[in-house]
Structure 1
Amino acid sequence: MMHNEMSRRRLLGLGAGLGAATALSLAGCGGGKDATQAGNGGKDYTGPKVDLKLWNGFTGGDGDIFKALVDKFNSEHANIALAVTTFKWDDYYTKLPGAVSSGNGPDIAVMHMDHLATNAARQVIIPLDDVAKALGLSEADFAPTVWKGGLYQDKRYGIPLDMHPLGFYYNKAVLQKAGLDPAKPPTTKDDFTAALTELKKSGVQGFWVSPFQFTGGMTFYSLVHQFGGSVFDAEGAKATFNADPAVEACTWLTDLIKAGHSPANVGQDADYLALKGGKNAFNWNGIWQINDLKKSPEVQWGVAPLPQIGSKPAAWANSHNFTIVKQRANDANKVSAAKVFINWLSEHSLDWAKGGQVPARKTVREGAGFTALTDISSLAPELEYAAFPPAAPGVEDVMTTFYDAFQQAVLGKKTPKQALDDGVAKADKQLADNRKKYGS
């Protein structure tokens, strides 16, 4: 298994670690003078030398690029020494709350957008409104959904670094062998269905439906929104993924298996490995796979925005955010220096994009440098209709229930309607528990 895609399986952290850490009492952390307003919001740092710890989950090729950027930052800032510790994402989200509670947490933490509210509610991270204000950052500088996703109870806890959507990968050699134009991947439901029919005639099951969150669950999430549905209601109080649009989306995927366009019981990551091995033609997967495919020159591949199967375009996406971690003993110098790093790397997000991410800052995203990264920038248009996981406390566990319900349907253990009904019943209980737990 290639380490890049295997590690990225943890993109959402799967919620298990945070759920297990619910009992932690973090409210007592950070005694003494409030350090959240330390410094000038990241413009510069002129204090004494400080050592900072940063935790992240970049275990793939993106980790090498991230560390190189940290080295560059350290070389340019004599009074700030930043040390990086990297965990697998699921281990990372398990370790962080306990480390903060015991006083052994990092100063800076990279966090996915859908984990911000939970960690803010648990007082693992501190507000960053002054950073946004001092740097003149506003919603206009980012995709609106990403910017709003950093808010919890009207305070900002995350500064967005990037966005990573799902993309449509296709094997050109397989398409050509089936008599299809490798330069024109399908963009509509009819095109997609017609291509699968031709592929089947040539002996290829064109689109393998994975029962796992990575990547079948994210494909289903995209399709729920494409068919006009949603996972939760507007208030985030009720699960809605058993409504007609979601059932239609789930049925469309399970029907592909029944029609012989996908094997049953596809293994974890087997859909992607089949694409690379020429055993299928199409794979919906994360933007992070671009760099992995570049390591396989023997594979003739392309990438494009997801086809529109439903009534409107939509694609699953998430975002990495920078956060500052709450400490037992506040150190205004460390907080001030941490803000300087967050600002610096945000401004250098074009370099970070080479790791397989779309820069969060609009000015960087629209610049010639990013456009020159043709494969990665080809997915940037999806940000106009990206469907980000909801940013609400405890949502990680509820999303796991959503993915588990989908898995039951894909494995044929339940009909799509029954699987989603059962999932919603469990999800509604989780949402009610979260309201009690987090007081919102």
Structure 2
Amino acid sequence: MTNHLSRRGVLGLGAGAGGAFLLAACGDDGPNPIVNGGGGNAQPAATSYAGPNVALTFWNGFTGGDGPVMKALVDKFNAANPNIKVAMNVYEWADYYQKVPAAVSTGNGPDLGIMHVEQVATNAARGVVLPLDDLAASLQLKEADFSPPVWRAGVYNNKRYAIPLDVHPQGMFYNKKVLASAGLDPEKPPTTNDEYLAALDKLKTKGVQGHWASPFPFTGVQQFHSLTWQFGGQLFDEQATRPLFAEEPAVKALTWLVDLVKKGYSPKNVAQDADAIAMQNGKAAFNWNGIWNINTLNGVKGLDWGVSALPQIGTQKAAWAGSHNFVQFKQKANDPNKLTAGKVFINFISQNSIEWAKGGQVPARKEVRESAEFKALAPQAAIGSQIDNLHFPPSVPGIPDAMATIDTAVNEAILLRKEPAKALSDAAAKATQILAQNKKKYGA
């Protein structure tokens, strides 16, 4: 799994730089006009394609271990559909989010692509991606076929612009050997706040700092998101007109993370990725990380590890997650054959997403997620058990830029440079300005 700004995965929330690349690449301050029939719903979607031969370009950012998995699915589709040839181009996510709007604006964009869910509304508002309501209707796809938060995340201005392929939630990874050395049951990881803190106390008596608090988006900011929702809070109001992450639930969430450092459960000044490496090397017991970590840990020789849903620290179950979504891009000229063939491709990959799951994902499609084959993928199934407790940012244009202010607050607080309430308050003031700017830029 690779991050849409850098290495490995899914920065998902807090992807301000990705948003900045996107806006700069578009080259103006308002929505792109729909030209030459490129916007609006395309022809009614079909489940099969019987038209003339077409060639489709499919862009994504799967530069890690997930790339070969998607390439194999593309090859499988091409073999089953001789009149459709899909060519896959892969870029680093940062490059991808810069290249796509620029290519679309010149009429040279790809036909199909993948977007992280928080990028969909921005691209919809700028006329980069096309509505897919017809595809959902023709395939009779509905919320119950996925899960409410995943399905709703692809809607902007009452139109669907994305079909979810997967979700990649945060889970709790743990080193079984370290737990056993502290007298803890390695087959029964903690599930509540009391159990978790008790485990950290036991580990501390053995000289182990059990949970390394990261001040970086990977993984500290994501943990802060999870905990804010667990304490009953939200990051923004539903329409993203104002930030809510400086209110009491979020302050509790960030305070909980900061207390890991203050109470000695975590070292100070944890470096990027050091929390994950510490768990692998037996220096820590727990690491709250994304599902992409499964592939990493499978490659660590001799490591006895497990993974579960996040423990419930607050008043309710919740977890951060990202989601890859299929989109179709605006074209200089509307080609009904290409649009129909593209929808057939999206449907095919969605239906065959069990193969994608094997690469370290949770399929968005419920029928795949509930299959015996997926349940046999024990780590993915454990993290996937959180499917209805996942949260995504509001489907509002420019939201990644406002989310980026949270990164700074978490960093300042966990590095003990500011108290949690002050760090969040300062960040919320900046986010308020960004939200107001976005409203002017994209419209109410």
TM-score category of the 2 structures, normalised to the smaller one: over 0.9
Q: TM-score, normalised on structure 2?
A: 0.95
- The answer on whether the counterparts of 2:108 and 2:332 sit within 8 Å (CA) in structure 1 is no
Aligned to 1:36: 41
Q: Within 1, Cα distance between the matches of 2:405 and 2:330?
A: 30
Aligned to 2:108: 104
- The answer on whether the counterparts of 2:226 and 2:319 sit within 8 Å (CA) in structure 1 is yes
Aligned to 1:117: 121
Q: CA deviation at 1:156?
A: 0.8
In the alignment of these two chains, the number of paired residues is: 438
The one-letter code of the counterpart of 1:37 is A
Aligned to 1:45: 49
1:35/1:331 Cα in 2 relative to 1: closer, same or farther (>3 Å)? farther
1:22/1:265 Cα in 2 relative to 1: closer, same or farther (>3 Å)? farther
Aligned to 1:163: 167
Matched residue of 2:8: which SS? helix
Aligned to 1:21: 25
Q: Within 2, Cα distance between the matches of 1:371 and 1:433?
A: 45
Aligned to 2:7: 6
Q: Which moved more, 1:167-176 or 1:102-111?
A: 102-111
1:33/1:289 Cα in 2 relative to 1: closer, same or farther (>3 Å)? closer
Q: CA deviation at 1:36?
A: 3.5
Deviations 1:148-172 (A, max 9, x none): 1111111110011111110000000
- The answer on whether the counterparts of 1:318 and 1:388 sit within 8 Å (CA) in structure 2 is yes
Q: Does 1:152 align with 2:156?
A: yes
Q: Within 2, Cα distance between the matches of 1:311 and 1:427?
A: 26
The one-letter code of the counterpart of 1:232 is F
- The answer on whether the counterparts of 1:29 and 1:101 sit within 8 Å (CA) in structure 2 is no
1:205/1:262 Cα in 2 relative to 1: closer, same or farther (>3 Å)? same
Q: Within 1, Cα distance between the matches of 2:154 and 2:309?
A: 25
- The answer on whether the counterparts of 1:42 and 1:342 sit within 8 Å (CA) in structure 2 is no
- The answer on whether the counterparts of 1:113 and 1:149 sit within 8 Å (CA) in structure 2 is yes
Q: Within 2, Cα distance between the matches of 1:300 and 1:33?
A: 53
Q: Within 2, Cα distance between the matches of 1:3 and 1:120?
A: 23
Q: Does 1:349 align with 2:353?
A: yes
Aligned to 2:288: 284
Q: Does 1:416 align with 2:420?
A: yes
Q: CA deviation at 1:435?
A: 1.1
Q: Which moved more, 1:337-346 or 1:291-300?
A: 291-300
The one-letter code of the counterpart of 2:215 is P
Of residues 245, 253, 261, the one that matches 1:249 is: 253
Aligned to 2:366: 362
Q: Which moved more, 1:217-226 or 1:197-206?
A: 197-206
Deviations 1:93-134 (A, max 9, x none): 122111111222111010111111110000000011110011
Q: Within 2, Cα distance between the matches of 1:75 and 1:235?
A: 44
The one-letter code of the counterpart of 1:41 is A
Query: Equivalent pairs: percent with the same residue?
Result: 53
Of residues 189, 204, 208, the one that matches 1:185 is: 189
Q: Does 1:404 align with 2:408?
A: yes
Of residues 212, 215, 230, the one that matches 1:226 is: 230
Of residues 63, 69, 80, the one that matches 2:84 is: 80
The one-letter code of the counterpart of 2:84 is I
- The answer on whether the counterparts of 1:10 and 1:89 sit within 8 Å (CA) in structure 2 is no
1:34/1:145 Cα in 2 relative to 1: closer, same or farther (>3 Å)? closer
Deviations 1:336-357 (A, max 9, x none): 1111100111111111111111
Matched residue of 2:213: which SS? coil
Matched residue of 2:385: which SS? helix
- The answer on whether the counterparts of 1:58 and 1:88 sit within 8 Å (CA) in structure 2 is yes
Aligned to 2:99: 95
Q: CA deviation at 1:233?
A: 1.8
Aligned to 1:391: 395
Aligned to 1:435: 439
Aligned to 2:322: 318
Deviations 1:186-215 (A, max 9, x none): 111111111111111111111001111111
Q: Within 1, Cα distance between the matches of 2:161 and 2:7?
A: 29
Q: Does 1:270 align with 2:271?
A: no
1:338/1:360 Cα in 2 relative to 1: closer, same or farther (>3 Å)? same
Matched residue of 1:52: which SS? strand
Aligned to 1:139: 143
Matched residue of 1:231: which SS? coil
Computed over aligned residues only, the root mean square deviation of the Cα atoms, in angstroms, reads: 1.8
- The answer on whether the counterparts of 1:59 and 1:88 sit within 8 Å (CA) in structure 2 is yes
Matched residue of 1:166: which SS? strand
- The answer on whether the counterparts of 2:120 and 2:395 sit within 8 Å (CA) in structure 1 is yes
Aligned to 1:305: 309
Q: TM-score, normalised on structure 1?
A: 0.96
Q: CA deviation at 1:258?
A: 1.1
Matched residue of 2:7: which SS? helix
- The answer on whether the counterparts of 2:211 and 2:287 sit within 8 Å (CA) in structure 1 is yes
Q: CA deviation at 1:390?
A: 2.1
- The answer on whether the counterparts of 1:170 and 1:282 sit within 8 Å (CA) in structure 2 is yes
The one-letter code of the counterpart of 1:234 is E
Q: Which moved more, 1:23-32 or 1:63-72?
A: 23-32
Q: Within 2, Cα distance between the matches of 1:19 and 1:32?
A: 23
Q: Within 1, Cα distance between the matches of 2:341 and 2:280?
A: 44
Deviations 1:219-260 (A, max 9, x none): 000001111111012332110111111111111111110111
Aligned to 1:236: 240
Matched residue of 1:123: which SS? coil
- The answer on whether the counterparts of 2:213 and 2:261 sit within 8 Å (CA) in structure 1 is yes
The one-letter code of the counterpart of 1:180 is L
Aligned to 1:375: 379
The one-letter code of the counterpart of 2:53 is K
